[in-house]
Structure formats: structure tokens, C-alpha cells
Amino acid sequence: MTARTQGSVRIVGAGLLGASLGHALTALGVDVILADASRSALSIAVDYGAGRREAEGDTPSIVVVAVPPDAAADVVARELAAWPAATVTDVASVKAGILAELREAGADLARYVGSHPMAGRERGGAVAARADLFLGRPWVLAAPPEAERDRRWAIEHLAVDAGAIPIVMPADEHDAAVALVSHVPQVVASALAGRLGGASPEAVGLAGQGLRDTTRIAASDPALWVQILGANADAVASILRGVRDDLDAAIAALDDPDAPGARRAIAELLARGNAGVATIPGKHGRSERFARLTVLIDDRPGELARLLTEIGELGVNMEDLRLEHSPGAPVGLAEIAVVPEAELPLATALQSRGWRIAGGAE
């Protein structure tokens, strides 16, 4: 594969995102120049092969600012001034505030294309970096109206070189979208998981997949999320108000469940949830619903592989897979999503091969 990206790429900030991008571009033969305020972070990234140190006479065609969100606007402004021919981007997860700061500072917005690669890992830093970090992930391009066409293309090519899927979207639209699909779910999951603090082990022992799913992202790093939520405060607060109002209505209805309209209010809340979840695109971007089949598997190595091999032999394409294991149980449950037409034939075929089919979670 040949890089679409032309010239040298300077990456400021050799953390997880910066170093991962360095690895991806280096693998394509692009000249990557790394810079970081921390000498040791820079050394690690260079030692791991994410790029080289800067040198006299460098003239990057692209600068990628991959510093913490709070520092991004200042560094972008500085880099735009330092490299008068370069296209500059950043990778912060909130975009409108940075753009406003740059505009206020009189930065050359013709050469700025904000971006947001929607990738990450639990662990941070150059040590955790991977060339494949961006593969198959959306990479939002939020250029200001002032940005030149060739500058937009340069950053789009960069995203494609990293293996990501470029998505063009204005900064404020991006921020409203991530508030809805990422930032508000984070706050809500944290508030929900927070209720588990005082619970008895017996109570949480009854937890099923529902609780695990609804609270999984509550394990995220508070320090990073304070920055993200602070940078997108208006959009997040506005959507949170809607959630809060719905909870208020549910509480009022549950305080007097036999009052006229109380059950209807709860039913409507649940029905709106049904409609909302149906809008989330599934695999391949289709929002169709799949049939789910739960197969019992003995809790020993190799059993799941054997099941999936047999599903492959039956010619069935699995759309999704989820494993669950109840405390103390000698069996696990593999929930397999398939197109609805495949459900009954697959269940029958698996049963005839000796697999046990069970019900779903809760």
C-alpha cells in the first residue's frame, strides 16, 4: 500500500493517538517527525519506531496536534504560526471550542482542519500505541468554512492512510452528535453505576447482562472525561436535561402508580426507548434487527471455537456474538445474532449436532 499523504508529517504529542498515528504512517513509508514536551515520552515513541526526532531544516506538509483537549487550541495556533505552509489538524474529541479560540486569536484558518478520530484504548501513552488503532474507526473531519479545499483533502488522505473512515461534519454538528452518542451516555452510565456503591454483594450477585452493559463505560478515566465534558458542556447539559426530565416523570409516576395516567407515562417512556434504540445502526450500518439465539457451552477452552466452526460449516454468517457467564454456573451462554430467516434453521441444525439452545438474558 502506498501512502496518499505527501511530504513530512509532524506530530505534536507522542501519547496514544500521536504515537499510533506515527506507527501507521511510518509503516506506509511516510517521514514522521515527533515532538513532545516530555523528553521521556518522546524517547519512548521514537524508540518504539513511531517516527524520528525533529531536525534542522524540517518543513512538514502536515502538522497533527495530539495533545490533551485543554491545550489543543494554543498548540494549534502556535504550529500554524511556526509552519506557514503546513496544513494543521488536531485530534481532540470536542471541536467547536477550539475553532472559536483559534478564530479569536486570528489564526490562519485557511490551513486548519479540525478532526476527531474515534479511537482509543483503556491504556494511554506511547507504549500502548498501535499502528492499527484507527483501523475501521470513524474519523470526523470538521473543517472551518475558511479551510482551503486542498487542506481538507490532505487531512482526509491522512485519515484514510491511518485506516480510518473519514466523515465530514461541521464542528458544532460534530459536538452535538458526540454529546448524544458518547458524552451523555458516559454521564448517565456513571450516575447509574454510582448507585451500586452501597449495595450488598447479594444484591449485585443478581446482576445480569443488562446491568453489565448499561454500566461498562462507567469504568472510564475521570481525569480525561472531565476535560471532554467541560469542553462540550452546553451540548451535554442540554441533552442531560431531557434525560433528567424523563427520570423526573418516571419518579412521579412511580410515586403514585395507580394515579390516572401514571402507567401510561411509564409505558410511553419505555416506548420512546424502543424507538430510540431502533435508530442505532448495526453491523454494516444497517439498522435492521437480528434474531438472537442463545447456545449453552461448557466452560472449558475450545468449546466456543468448536461452536463457531460448526456455525461456519452450516454456512451461517454470524452478525454479532456475546458471551455471558452466571456466577457459579458450569456453562456459559453464547448469544449469537443472525438474520431472522437463519434463526430457526440454525437452531434446528445446532440441536441436531448436540448443542443446547437456551433463552436470552433476563
Q: Which is nearer to a copy of itself, 12 or 119 (CB)?
A: 119
Residue from 203, 288, 340, 348 binding a copy of itself (CB under 8 A): 203
Query: Does the protein bind a copy of itself through residue 37 (CB under 8 A)?
Result: no
Q: Enumerate residues 254-283 that contact a copy of itself by CB under 8 A.
A: 254-255, 257, 262-263, 266-267, 269-283
C-alpha cell at 197: 456503591
Distance (Å, rounded) from C-alpha 282 to C-alpha 290?
9
C-alpha cell at 120: 482509543
C-alpha cell at 255: 410515586
What torsion do the CA atoms of 139, 145, 150, 155 make, to the nearest 10 degrees? -20
CB of 102 to a copy of itself, least distance (A): 19
CB of 16 to a copy of itself, least distance (A): 8
CB of 262 to a copy of itself, least distance (A): 8
Q: Which is nearer to a copy of itself, 171 or 229 (CB)?
A: 229
CB 144 within 8 A of CB 89: no
Distance (Å, rounded) from C-alpha 21 to C-alpha 132?
9
**Contacts made by residues 336-345, CB under 8 angstroms, sequence distance 24+:** 336/292, 336/293, 336/294, 336/295, 336/311, 337/290, 337/291, 337/292, 337/293, 338/290, 338/291, 338/293, 339/288, 339/290, 339/291, 340/289, 340/290, 340/291, 342/291, 342/316, 342/317, 343/291, 343/293, 345/316
CB of 198 to a copy of itself, least distance (A): 9
Burial class of residue 170 in the structure, from the number of CB atoms within 10 Å of its CB (0-12 exposed, 13-18 middle, 19+ buried): middle
Q: Which is nearer to a copy of itself, 52 or 250 (CB)?
A: 250
Q: How far apart are the first and last CA of the chain?
A: 48
Q: Enumerate residues 155-174 that contact a copy of itself by CB under 8 A.
A: 165, 167, 169, 173
Q: How far is CA 265 from the centre of its chain?
A: 33
Tell me, residue by residue from 84 to 123, as one string, x for binding to a copy of itself by CB under 8 A and - for no binding.
----------------------------------xxxxx-
Query: Does the protein bind a copy of itself through residue 225 (CB under 8 A)?
Result: yes
Stretch of 7-15, 36-44, 48-56, 242-250 contacting a copy of itself, by CB under 8 A: 242-250
C-alpha cell at 37: 514536551
Q: Which is nearer to a copy of itself, 29 or 302 (CB)?
A: 302
Residue from 38, 40, 82, 212 binding a copy of itself (CB under 8 A): 212
Q: Which is nearer to a copy of itself, 14 or 86 (CB)?
A: 14
Stretch of 33-41, 61-69, 76-84, 214-222 contacting a copy of itself, by CB under 8 A: 214-222
Q: Enumerate residues 280-319 that contact a copy of itself by CB under 8 A.
A: 280-285, 292, 294, 296, 301-302, 304-305, 308-309, 311-312, 315-318
Query: Does the protein bind a copy of itself through residue 321 (CB under 8 A)?
Result: yes
Q: Which is nearer to a copy of itself, 21 or 76 (CB)?
A: 21
Distance (Å, rounded) from C-alpha 129 to C-alpha 15?
8
Taking alpha carbons only, the member of 264, 346, 362 closest to residue 308 is 346
Stretch of 31-39, 84-92, 105-113, 233-241 contacting a copy of itself, by CB under 8 A: 233-241
Stretch of 6-14, 50-58, 152-160, 211-219 contacting a copy of itself, by CB under 8 A: 211-219
What torsion do the CA atoms of 212, 130, 225, 232 make, to the nearest 10 degrees? -110
